[in-house]
Each structure stands twice: as structure tokens, then as C-alpha cells.
Structure 1
């Protein structure tokens, strides 16, 4: 699959923007699950962990979409 812009309502959106939105939603779900299970107490710096999870998810989504 090639990475082409998507026209939604006459506005061109980059696929990376849409992948980032999906990765952000998944990051929120993961962080919420970690807080509910009290697993967040083992994380040294939650902001760095959230950023790392977001980047890993974004890379995985981009890789899956490109194959």
C-alpha cells in the first residue's frame, strides 16, 4: 500500500496524521488500563513512558499500513 493523501471533505490529510490519531487513542487506552491495574506505580517517568508508547505504536501502525 502506498502512502497517498486522503481527501476528506475537500481537505487533504496525510496518512501519517491519521495514523498518529489512532496511535494517540491507543496510547490513551493503554495508559488508562495501566492506571486501573495499578501498574503505573512501576514506571519511573510517566511522560517519557507515554511518549515511548506513542512512538512505538505509531511506528507499528505505519509499518502494518505500508505492508
Structure 2
């Protein structure tokens, strides 16, 4: 995995791309958790959301790093 991705000649940091992917996944998971009323069991919802995002960002980055290149 290289440090940058090229989108039509513009180089973008790979970590930014993986952060956007993790943000999208985080939004979907938070909607599901809110629909099943999971947040009534969480002490600090904002801290939980931040932790969820960081865990997803690490997971997406690790998967991208270990994925075979085309």
C-alpha cells in the first residue's frame, strides 16, 4: 500500500480515504444502534461514537494494508 492515492491526477492521503470509509461505516452502525435503542445502555454516547470511529478506522486501514494489490 502506498502512502497516497491518485484521483484524476490529484494525490490524496490514503489515511484520509480510509477515514472517510470508516466515517460512512460509523454513520450506518450508529443509525442501527439508535434504532435498537442501544444508547440507553451507554454512559457517554459521544465518547462511544468516537471510539467506534477509531476502531473502524483502524480496522479499515489494517484491511487495506493487508489486502492484495490488483
Indicate whether the TM-score tops 0.5: yes
Shift of 1:9: 2.5
Instruction: Tell me the secondary structure at the aligned position of residue 55 of structure 1.
Output: helix
- 1:56 is matched with 55
Structure 1 outlier segments of 4+, above 6 Å: none
**CA–CA separation in structure 1 for the residues paired with 2:3 and 2:58:** 17
Q: Which residue of 1 aligns with 2:23?
A: 24
For residue 46 of structure 1, what is the aligned residue in structure 2? 45
Q: Which runs of 5+ in 2 are unaligned?
A: none
Q: How many residues align?
A: 66
Aligned to 1:17, what secondary structure does the other structure show? helix
After superposing the two structures, state which structure 1 stretch, 34-43 or 7-16, moved more: 7-16
1:33 aligns to 2:32 (yes or no): yes
5+ residue gaps in structure 1? none
What TM-score do you get using the length of structure 1 for normalisation? 0.90
Give deviations 1:10-52, integer Å, cap 9, x for gaps. Answer: 3211110010001001111111001101111111111100000
- Cα RMSD (Å) of the superposition? 1.0
